[in-house]
Amino acid sequence: MMKRALLFSFLMSGAAVMAQAQDSFWSRGSLTGSLESNSIYYMHDDGLDPSTSANPDDRFGSNNYLKLDYTNGRFSAGIQLEGFFPALQGYDYATYGNGHKAILGSKYASWQDDMYGFRVGDIFEQYGSGLIFRSYEDRALGFNNSLEGVHGRFDWKGVHLSAMFGRPRLYLEYAESMIRGADLSLSLSEMTGWNAASLSIEGSYVNRYEDLMSNDLFIDRLTTNSLDLYSGRVNFDWNGLTAKFEYAGKSKDLTTQASQEMTEGSAILAELGYSYRRFSVLGTFRQLKDMNTMLSLNAAGNGNTLNYLPSLTRQYTYMLANLNPYQVNGDGEIGGQADIYYSLRNRRTRSKYWNFHVNFSTFYSDAAHTMGESRLLWRDINADVERQWNKKWKTSVLVSVQEWSPSHGMQEATYASNIFVVDNTYKITPKMSVRLELQYLYSTDYEKDWMAGLLEFNMAPRWSITVSDMYNHGTSGKHYYNASVSYTRKNTRIQLGYGRVRAGYICSGGVCRWTPAYTGANLTVTSSF
């Protein structure tokens, strides 16, 4: 399988080079593209728990993408080739049995001008915040739920109208359902010439149709083959003040394959923010009730998702702060988060400043889904301070106190984690820098105490070397070590790494996927032209 993956990567690279070489053929337009290849060789590791570890029959996994786009005036077209040999462990492509192939992942042709736009092929679209519909690709999650169909839009003097129809992609195939929808936005400030503020009213409608009432699996649970979703929104922006409100609803639906009866769903999302000079504050509230919506009732997995329900919590990049991220409870949750930022600047020199940030988020379960009692799902109280001491030295300090439910609200017990991070960056020369992270997690629950460290050495713009380790000295005594080196030249980056990865969630944009534990060598290549 490794030979097949290498051959496919070679062919993808060759296609990219040929596309660049045939400049005369494409002289009337422009051709752009990108190549991404992520491969892992899994190694046997007796130090990992077999019940949570990757044990693939083939020790090699590789996800590869080649994207080509051609633009000529108002016309554009493109394709994306994808190869999985097989798909990396932890991706739904592999979990649901079809992650071992090469496919034409997406294709499209479109024509756009200031007033009209048409697209045929694979469609990426989002209505409002995505509560009722979002089709997008996220390669870090192994996620692509684009629609294969048609899309049109119309814009005129503050009126923005779009409509779509197609079948959704489900992993490396297509679902048996059909999706249609429309979105209307009226910019009242643009229509009336009110330039002092921005005010818009929006509405969306989405329908999913799947003929399953005659299916023996659903004959006693389904009362209709059609699902309707709708959303209404108001957006206001004036003199640093922003306010958004959205209400979404859905007709009766089976929210999971195991649901015994169809239920209606609803969601409320509200945002209020204010910004003035170096101060800003933003508060977000959300309530979900039975809003999990599948592309197909006859499929499973995280990729089988029609709408977008990200966790409204702080998204960390530090290892220990992101050890147990919050997972959205689409069946029923209520809560929100607040952010406060303030920057203190030195009037005499830009090389010295303070940045202050405080964040709070908390979510509770809907009582109807957790034994008739609303229970704490997540709480995070955190603050960080960034200090730029001079042109060379910068320090960041983070404190986070997290409390979370390991049973997702089904039981009263919660775990608490107290996390401390110190992050220092020092510029040795204008092109050479070193960064050191020191982290500690204190807890009397679950795996108890952790410590972690990361050392990164950069020689811009070419080289970067990183070593890190997470050590659970509270219970297991396991080290999760990693080392990598990357080289960048023009628009191409190559990274080679080796290490041990803990079983857990990997998140992107508030959406997470589960990854098993593994030890292995990783090669990543990204290039654009």
Average model confidence (pLDDT) across the chain: 92
Amino acid identity of residue 69, one-letter, is D
Chain mean position to CA 88: 17
How do residues 292-313 score in pLDDT, each as one tens digit? 999 999 988 889 999 999 999 9
Contact 211, 251 (CB under 8 A): no
pLDDT band at 187 (very low <50, low <70, confident <90, very high): very high
Question: Closest by alpha carbon to 338, among 380, 374, 375?
Answer: 380
3-state helix, strand, coil in the chain (%, to 5): 5, 55, 35
For residues 92, 126, 208 and 153, what is the CA-based torsion angle, rounded to 10 degrees?
Answer: -140
Could you give the CA distance from residue 337 to residue 422 in angstroms, rounded to a whole number?
Answer: 24
pLDDT one-digit tens code per residue, 399-425:
999 999 999 888 889 999 999 999 999
Instruction: State residue 25's pLDDT score.
Output: 46
> Which residues lie closer than 8 Å to 220 by C-beta, 6 or more apart?
none
The pLDDT, as a whole number, for residue 27 is 62
Residues 6+ apart with CB under 8 A from 9: 37, 62, 64, 83, 525
- Alpha-carbon span 333 to 329, nearest angstrom: 6
pLDDT of residue 18: 46
Residue range 202-240, pLDDT digits in tens: 999 999 999 998 888 888 889 999 999 999 999 999 999
Structure tokens given for 236? 């206001």
Give the global pTM. Answer: 0.90
The percent of residues above 70 in pLDDT, for the chain, comes to: 94
d(CA 430, CA 415): 44
Closest Cα to residue 293, out of 247, 327, 259, 326? 259
Q: How far apart are CA 320 and CA 446, in angstroms?
A: 14
Confidence category of residue 97, pLDDT binned at 50, 70, 90: low
Q: How many CB atoms neighbour CB 430 within 10 A?
A: 9
pLDDT of 12 reads 53
Grouping H, G, I as helix, E, B as strand and the rest as coil, residue 282 is strand
The 3-state DSSP class for residue 8 equals helix
Residue 117 in tokens: 């736009």
Whether cis (ω within 30° of 0) applies to the bond prior to 461 is yes
pLDDT at site 409: 87
388 vs 267: CA distance, rounded Å: 42
